[in-house]
Amino acid sequence: MTTLLAIESSCDDTSAAVLRDDHLLSNVIASQKVHEQYGGVVPELASRAHQQNIIPVVDAAIRQAGIGKDEIDAVGFTRGPGLLGSLLVGVSFAKSFATALDKPLIEVNHLQAHVLSHFIDRGEPKPQFPFICLLVSGGHTQILLLKDYFDIECLGTTIDDAAGEAIDKAAKIMDLGYPGGPIIDRLAKEGNPDAYTFATPNIAGYNYSFSGIKTSFLYFLRDRLKEDPDFIEKHKADLCASIQKTIVGFLLKKTERAALDNKIKQIAIAGGVSANSYLRSELQRICQKHHWQAFIPPFQFCTDNAAMVGIAAYFKYRKGDFADISLPPYTR
């Protein structure tokens, strides 16, 4: 049996988790409220908050797991991609902790971690290789073909904004607050998704583009606001439901195409946007239609967390794939 401590600090959540093999013993996440007033993550403030949070968060994860530090066999950490100042806190902490314990270090790619979160043991069926994973977060939008844990082919990606970024920007345009994803999700439940239609761009293959959708949403609102300054306030729910349907529909249309073309019958979703209730129910509907299996992560594994870093580290530990103490973080 292997006991792993995992650290995630790539963006604005400080998180630590303890796993015993593929079982999660604890997963502590400190979210940084400081960014809300700025309507986006301020890198300088994020690294400072990580610096304040990292020791209490790791301490809580070890205590909640009910283990002693001496039981830890290795320390996994997110090496990148992410914000440099944020990554440096987690990477430096992981190196120091592993050195103090005289245990090996395991570097983890944040995107692989999101995808591999499906393999944390929950007593439920896991995806079987090969399967497709739609990875949708604030920084990334990719259709991935998983042939093995670390044999991942990227079939498509965004050529500009990420899906989460587009949703956050739509919320910002409507002055709804930050992060916009959960707010749009909540308001959309009261609205009509067919109230307004926004065109999606024609992009080759399995690639995406979101900046045009954001711009057409902005122009649409600008025109309506000229006629009625209260337009957004009056039609908030319909606007949220319609923009959400546009983005989710675009995401799933290409994912469905990729699965059909590659004869894949299992589709997983991962990343912060996979918490979206409309994306989750639409994926279920499409999979039922084709008799495919849908793999939808529990909410705690959608947005950034160290549990997913821990499971990725576990599969690397089994291969003896350890990191050198000197390696620096990477941002992209």
Site residues, Zn ion (CB under 5 A):
137, 304
Out of 85, 156, 164, 193, name the contact with ligand KG4 by CB under 6 A: 164
Out of 185, 238, 256, 282, name the contact with ligand KG4 by CB under 6 A: 185
Candidates 124-132, 204-212, 253-261, 265-273; binding stretch for ligand KG4 (CB under 6 A): 265-273
Question: Which residues from 114-153 bind ligand KG4, rule CB under 6 A?
Answer: 137-139
Q: What are phi and psi of 178, to 5 degrees?
A: -130, 145
- Give the nearest distance from C-beta 164 to ligand KG4 in angstroms: 3
Quick one: how far is CA 181 from the chain centroid? Answer: 12
- Two structure tokens written together for 62: 């070890």
Q: 3-state DSSP call for residue 248?
A: helix
164/185 Cα distance (integer angstroms): 12
244/166 Cα distance (integer angstroms): 10
191 near ligand KG4 (CB under 6 A): no
The size of the interface with ligand KG4 (CB under 6 A), counted in residues, is: 19
- Between residues 49 and 62, which has the closer beta carbon with respect to ligand KG4? 49
Binding at 180: pick from ligand KG4, Zn ion, none (beta carbon under 5-8 Å per type): ligand KG4
User: Which of these, 147, 58, 77, lies nearest to 327 by C-alpha position?
Assistant: 77
For helices 163-173 and 231-261, angle between their N-to-C axes, nearest 10 degrees: 170
Out of 80, 193, 271, 310, name the contact with ligand KG4 by CB under 6 A: 271
Alpha helices, DSSP H only, in 66-196?
84-101, 110-116, 163-173, 180-188
Residues that bind ligand KG4 (CB under 6 A): 11, 137-139, 164, 167-168, 179-182, 185, 271-273, 275-276, 303-304
